[in-house]
Amino acid sequence: DAMVIQNPRYQVTQFGKPVTLSCSQTLNHNVMYWYQQKSSQAPKLLFHYYDKDFNNEADTPDNFQSRRPNTSFCFLDIRSPGLGDAAMYLCATSRSSVQETQYFGPGTRLLVL
């Protein structure tokens, strides 16, 4: 009964080759988030969508973009991955506001060669 699904679970890309990670949710939640997590660190918020409204964190590089075509799906596009972008990417959702509990997907581990 997966609620937040991320595909693929593992992604290998080449330096500079665009890559897209996907997230879907069966919870019908309004808010969807993308986090980057590096080894032994807490997740770091990249951006989030409140419904269709996109909210970018000030320190998120321009290399990272996102799309949310409908309530259920959200995509993370990395336009030109660098070696420093290798990390776990986590998608999360919350029902109607950031002040509510967030539910995470299993993550996509990105490797950049």
> Tokens 């997740």 identify what position?
43
Residue 55 Cβ vs another protein, minimum distance, rounded to whole Å: 6
User: Residue 88 and residue 51: Cα distance in Å, rounded?
Assistant: 24
Residues 6+ apart with CB under 8 A from 8: 21, 108
Dihedral sign, CA of 94, 95, 99, 103?
Answer: negative
Length of the chain: 113
48 touches another protein (CB under 8 A): yes
Residue 76 Cβ vs another protein, minimum distance, rounded to whole Å: 14
As beta bridge partners, residue 46 has none
Total chain residues near another protein (CB under 8 A): 25
Beta carbon nearer to another protein, 55 or 80: 55
Residue 72 Cβ vs another protein, minimum distance, rounded to whole Å: 18
109 touches another protein (CB under 8 A): yes
Beta carbon nearer to another protein, 94 or 112: 94
Beta carbon nearer to another protein, 44 or 71: 44
